[in-house]
């Protein structure tokens, strides 16, 4: 079982729709969770971090964490063509350890 | 504003050359990382450092070494570049949240 798993996609949504990106992780003791956005040819950009169960909202983005089920999700409301990118889920098991990345989900938002 | 810089955006080297990739952060972060990213393989950790002069091997350290003489600077060294080291190299730094530099696309011919 991979440590951090994401569907590779592509996930295609129309402009204005909600995009839902999912990620599961294998280590139940993992403590910190992150979502990165990566445009083609660019480096990953941190968009959300979440540390406790529940929802965390930042503008059009909502991160959801469910530690009992070992999944973390990212919702993008009112999706825009500029949201078209690869979204990487990352998990930190303990403070001071390196992030473990999923391989990413490609999102395509059509106008 | 968060800032991680890398010495080159694009680099072309010949097989067998010694290659230095430099990374500098201005956020007083404790931890620094080197990754490579290849299509279909995702981000793979090469080395990381949690303090000056300290280093830890990541998932794919073979063929690489690192140096951290100052807190803000973390260097990746390819001792003898090979064609299979052609890749995008990404540096990152963190205390809690991790931030990436712009990347160096290295081609070894």
Distance from CA of B104 to the nearest CA of A (A): 10
Encode pLDDT of B91-106 as tens digits. Answer: 999 998 999 999 999 9
Encode pLDDT of A25-66 as tens digits. Answer: 999 999 999 999 999 999 999 999 999 999 999 999 999 999
Cα–Cα distance measured from residue A69 to residue A87, given in angstroms and rounded to the nearest whole number? 21
Encode pLDDT of B32-60 as tens digits. Answer: 999 999 998 999 999 999 999 899 999 99
Cα–Cα distance measured from residue B104 to residue B77, given in angstroms and rounded to the nearest whole number? 13
Query: Contacts of residue B97 in chain A, CB cutoff 8 Å?
Result: 34, 46, 49
The band of B76, judged by pLDDT with boundaries at 50, 70 and 90, is: very high
Cα–Cα distance measured from residue A105 to residue A72, given in angstroms and rounded to the nearest whole number? 13
Distance from CA of A78 to the nearest CA of B (A): 26
- Residue in chain B nearest A48 by alpha carbon: B97
- Residue in chain A nearest B38 by alpha carbon: A103
Residue written as tokens 């963190």? B94
Calculate the CA dihedral of residues B5, A38, B35, B69 and round it to 10 degrees.
20
Distance from CA of B33 to the nearest CA of A (A): 8
Half-sphere exposure of residue B106: CA atoms within 13 angstroms, side-chain side: 31
């Amino acid at each position: 079982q991979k440590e951090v798993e994401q569907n590779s996609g592509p996930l295609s949504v129309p402009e204005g729709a909600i995009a839902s990106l999912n990620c599961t992780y294998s280590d139940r003791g993992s403590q910190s969770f992150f979502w990165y956005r990566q445009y083609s040819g660019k480096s990953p950009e941190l968009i959300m971090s979440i540390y406790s169960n529940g929802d965390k909202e930042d503008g059009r983005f909502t991160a959801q964490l469910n530690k009992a089920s070992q999944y973390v999700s990212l919702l993008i409301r009112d999706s825009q063509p500029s949201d078209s990118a690869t979204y990487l889920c990352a998990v930190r098991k303990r403070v001071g350890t390196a992030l473990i990345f999923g391989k990413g989900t490609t999102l395509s938002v059509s106008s | 504003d968060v800032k991680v810089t890398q010495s080159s955006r694009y680099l072309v080297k010949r097989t067998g050359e010694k290659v230095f990739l430099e990374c500098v952060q201005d956020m007083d972060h404790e931890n620094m990382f080197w990754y490579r990213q290849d299509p279909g393989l995702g981000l793979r950790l090469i080395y990381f450092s949690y303090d000056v002069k300290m280093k830890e091997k990541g998932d794919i350290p073979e063929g690489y070494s690192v140096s951290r003489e100052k807190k803000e600077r973390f260097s990746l060294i390819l001792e003898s570049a090979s064609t299979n080291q052609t890749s995008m190299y990404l540096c990152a730094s963190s205390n809690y949240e991790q931030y990436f530099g712009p990347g160096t696309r290295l081609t070894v011919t």
